Structure 1
Amino acid sequence: MSNSVIGLLQYDAFDIGFMTTDDFTNADILEETYPTIAKRLREDWSSSHAIPIITGFLGKSCKSSAVTTLGRGGSDLTDTTIGKALGLKEIQVWKDVDGVLTCDPNIHPQAEPVPYLTFEETAELAYFGAQWQQPGFPAGNLILATEDSLEQLSRHFLADEDIRSGKA
């Protein structure tokens, strides 16, 4: 292991191009967000090679330029948006649950992980009140069929031995 120092760059999501609708507490991310984010992060990476640390949950209204929030699941939606913008094939999100479960494990201990969901099934679950995501947003320790093949793998943050032992 080398003794080199790795730089970090801190960003608010709205400063790298997260453009949204005007719905302050439940804004939708606009399509023009993707190329803007990709351009900004790639330019900054090529000049500094610093690791970007980006706030989640926030955007900027395309009409008023006011800061908006993305609503429930907004931080995970931020991760997925960045991944899609950069053309990543996989995103890992570490959570306090083992992916998408068949029911609330706090109410029914027999809850089991769901191994596969389509984009439509995920959106429908969210629409009817599933508490693990925002509508239209892929989540869970599962493979999700999406329009652009971006997979999001959700992992329990205490499930990995390297994390628990402090080696990661």
Structure 2
Amino acid sequence: MLPLSHPDRIEPDSPRPRRSSHPSRPSATEVLRYGERYADLRDQHLAHTLILEDAREEREEISAHERITCHVHRRWAHECIASPMHVIPVTGHRWCRPCEAEASVAVDEVTRSVTVVCTRCRQTPETAATRQITRTCRASLAAAHESRRARVQAQNTASAAA
């Protein structure tokens, strides 16, 4: 089970606080519903993001294509976008319609570049799906980078306190 801070106590007559559209931690209810699947992940930020996106997708607040995580591979989207499972000819994701061929995706974590290229014509499919992949991978890269930065900072803080 993922660790959660105790929820704030609310007086019976006071209005409930509004949740932000992108909370940083899942609610206790979301953890109970989706968290068991991700309890073994070392990256707690990834686990929390997976839970939040599972809940948002279930509430139809985002589509599966807008996620920065992959619930199938339990990874950041940019880490598994090259999987054949992410080729979806119907929607055009990782697909070149004129060639009727798979498009490959290359993600460079150093430069944070994302390149989508048809395996036949060697051109980038100029589609909404390709633009979606690029946006999603860039957001996934940024989230993964922030997660690593926070982990290193927490480790440094822990070792300085010891």
Point out the structure with the larger helix share.
Answer: 2
Larger CA Rg, structure 1 vs 2? 2
Establish whether TM, by shorter chain, passes 0.5.
Answer: no
Point out the structure with the larger strand share.
Answer: 1
Return the TM-score normalized by structure 1: 0.31
Return the TM-score normalized by structure 2: 0.31
